Chains A and B, each alone.
Chain A
Amino acid sequence: MAVIAEPVAKPISRFRFVLDRRDVLETVMVAPAILYVLLLVGLPLLLAVFYSLSAYTIYNPTWKFVGLANFEQILQNPTFLDTLRNTFVFTFGSQLLGLVLGKFGAFLLLQPFPGRKIVRALIILPFAVPVALATIAWQWMFDSLYSVINWTMIAAGLVTREEAPNWLGNPYLAMLCIIIINAWRFFPFAIVIFLAGITAVPQDVIDAATVDGAGFWRRNYQIILPMILPMVAIGLIFGIVFTFTDLSIVFLLTMGGPGGATSVLGFEGFQTGIVSGDVAHGAAISLFMLPVLLVVVIFTLRFIRRREI
């Protein structure tokens, strides 16, 4: 009889079927990540929509369907419209300020000078530090009595102690404060994006433009800017998404005050949904972010697609 050795590899070969088929293996390897995201991002997103259409509170967890009643009630509340306006002012004010600072900063950092590496490291700091900790540092600088900013202005003779601004007590100044903190947080990011973009522009393109007679401004705004636009756009999209939905700066610095002057969508959703336990209305408030996010996502997709062509 043929007692020739049974191929030892047999039990392994069944296993190898999975390990050798690229398409099967790829699916198996990407599955855990997809599942995690589906279960803890996709599912909650659906839940948020369901909550917003129900009368769910933590005291009375019912799935009673109420249609769009929550949204109607929210829109009829005049302070909500202020919240919406505040959110836009906060987002676009801080992004604009951040971009302007970023453009100038990048322009300076492009020139070689001694100590540039250290300067760059210092300028990155605001983007690196956890936002909650940065906010409380600014809170201390905006303190009503011990503000170092007021101290400096008084010492410089700009204001007297009596008329020194109460940064967080005045509605307009409080809005300015949260805009400044957020712009402060994002401008290093803008600088780095601009720098990465500008250094990626091939030098021969710039040289060709110079030879053709393009001056400084022309090179900047008609050659370099259009070339780095996709990259700047992606940076801006990040900034807009994370500012529009932010809650930490307002929560720690002003608690939406004074008198609702700095209340933003994320904060309002938190107050209603978590603090007051009215999950249905809280979810509905948060969902007002969705249209803006969708617009942003469509833009992102367009830029990513364009890159491929």
Chain B
Amino acid sequence: MPEPLARSLRVTGFSLGVAFFVILAAFPFYWMAITAFKQNSDLYDITNIPFWFNEPPTLEHIRYLFKETLFARWLSNSLIIGVCVTAITLVTAVPAGYSLARMTSRKGEALGIAIFLTYLVPPTLLFLPLSRIVTELGLQNSMWSLVLVYPTFTIPFCSWLLMGFFKALPIEIEEAAIVDGCSVFCAFIKMAVPLSLPAILTVVIFTFTLTLQEFVYALTFISSSDQKPITLGVSTDLIRGDVFFWGEIMAGALIAAVPVAIAYNLFLDRFIAGITGGAVK
């Protein structure tokens, strides 16, 4: 085969491969977006070509979402849950990650692995007993039950992530502070914490997105519409009887998904480094 032909074949094959992956990954999002802005008469006409607008786009679905449904309420619920869970996670996981990293004994290592393994205990194993506990505490059907329960997976994950980070932080910096008259605790607050701000920011982002992605506990604990977080509200509450309002549902899904997708993209490498915990090297 002549060299230029082989080359152009290779380039074409490569481009087709990349195109396949991009379409596979992104098409459902394109489909969400175009559905969210299409008029119903356009949406429910099978003679139309579905890939673009056959009639002018409309903001009707978005207007309906905010005016006629509890969408705004779900957004604010998710925000409140996210902020509270993030606060609880930071207060517990930052010191825990630090002391796990600085524990020199074998015990510290074992404790770290044990905490990490609890991240692997799935919600579907715990939701029955937890729903009884939540009921006993009088939190059933309230979004505060989620504030109580979500740290069960954010704390292990974030402690592990922070442990890895603090291990990489040279202890000499803290020792210098201690020589200058700081206590060990003060060295942690004044030296280790400010230096680990990038890691803490990662933890904040991931705690937030993990709470937004969670579905099982929300489904189990909450049945009244006004207490639902956004993922649960959009996926279970916009269906009336057997009628699906696809325009509204897709608009809601799009609005909830876009910020999470952006945050993930920005922090993905740290996330991967966190869960694989330096398995290579």
User: Which chain B positions have C-beta within 8 A of A127?
Assistant: 264
What per-residue 1/0 map shows which CB atoms of B1-15 lie under 8 Å from chain A? 000000000000010
Assess the B280–A200 pair: CB atoms within 8 A. Answer: yes
Assess the B231–A130 pair: CB atoms within 8 A. Answer: yes
User: Which chain A positions have C-beta within 8 A of B231?
Assistant: 130, 132-133
- B16 CB to nearest chain A CB (Å): 10
User: Which chain A positions have C-beta within 8 A of B129?
Assistant: 43-45, 47-48, 51, 283
The prevalent SS among residues of A at the interface is: helix
What per-residue 1/0 map shows which CB atoms of B224-249 lie under 8 Å from chain A? 00000001101110000000101001
Q: Kindly name the residue among B43, B132, B156 whose own CB sees the greatest number of chain A CB atoms within 10 A.
A: B132
B22-53 at interface with A (beta carbon < 8 Å) = 22, 24-26, 28-29, 31-32, 35, 43-44, 46, 49-51
Assess the A132–B44 pair: CB atoms within 8 A. Answer: no
Assess the B184–A248 pair: CB atoms within 8 A. Answer: no
Q: With A230-B279, A234-B276, A234-B279 given, is the CB distance from A30 to B132 under 8 Å?
A: no
| Chain A residues with a Cβ closer than 8 Å to the other chain, count | 105
A140-158 at interface with B (beta carbon < 8 Å) = 140-141, 143, 145-146, 148, 151, 155
Tell me whether B100 is interfacial, beta carbon within 8 Å.
yes
What per-residue 1/0 map shows which CB atoms of B117-147 lie under 8 Å from chain A? 1101111111111111100000000000000
Q: Which of A27, A125, A227 contacts B29 (CB 8 A)?
A: A125
Alpha-carbon distance A108/B22, docked complex (angstroms): 11
Alpha-carbon distance A141/B232, docked complex (angstroms): 20
User: Which chain B positions have C-beta within 8 A of A273?
Assistant: 127-128
Binds B, one of A15-23, A70-78, A214-222: A15-23
Alpha-carbon distance A269/B126, docked complex (angstroms): 11
User: Which chain A positions have C-beta within 8 A of B263?
Assistant: 128
B199-253 at interface with A (beta carbon < 8 Å) = 209, 212-213, 215-216, 219-220, 231-232, 234-236, 244, 246, 249-250, 253
Q: Which of A22, A51, A130 contacts B102 (CB 8 A)?
A: A22
User: Which chain A positions have C-beta within 8 A of B98?
Assistant: 29
Alpha-carbon distance A128/B213, docked complex (angstroms): 9
User: Which chain A positions have C-beta within 8 A of B46?
Assistant: 145-146, 151
Assess the B185–A19 pair: CB atoms within 8 A. Answer: yes
Alpha-carbon distance A304/B129, docked complex (angstroms): 30
What per-residue 1/0 map shows which CB atoms of A111-138 lie under 8 Å from chain B? 1010000010111111111111111111
- A232 CB to nearest chain B CB (Å): 9
Tell me whether B186 is interfacial, beta carbon within 8 Å.
yes
Assess the A122–B26 pair: CB atoms within 8 A. Answer: yes
CB closest residue in chain A, given B273: A196
User: Which chain A positions have C-beta within 8 A of B280?
Assistant: 196-197, 200, 227-228, 230-231
User: Which chain A positions have C-beta within 8 A of B26?
Assistant: 122-123, 125
- A252 CB to nearest chain B CB (Å): 6
Alpha-carbon distance A196/B108, docked complex (angstroms): 27
A-B contact pairs, 25 of them (CB 8 A): A19-B185, A20-B183, A29-B98, A36-B152, A40-B151, A44-B126, A108-B21, A122-B22, A136-B253, A137-B253, A140-B31, A140-B244, A141-B28, A148-B51, A200-B280, A234-B277, A245-B122, A245-B125, A247-B216, A270-B127, A286-B125, A289-B122, A293-B125, A300-B117, A304-B279
What residues make up the interface of A, taking CB atoms closer than 8 Å to B?
A: 16, 18-22, 25-27, 29-30, 32-34, 36-37, 40-45, 47-48, 51, 101, 104-105, 108, 111, 113, 119, 121-138, 140-141, 143, 145-146, 148, 151, 155, 184, 187-188, 192-193, 196-197, 200, 227-228, 230-231, 233-235, 237-238, 241-242, 244-248, 251-252, 265-266, 269-270, 273-274, 279, 282-283, 286-287, 289-290, 293, 296-297, 300-301, 303-304, 307
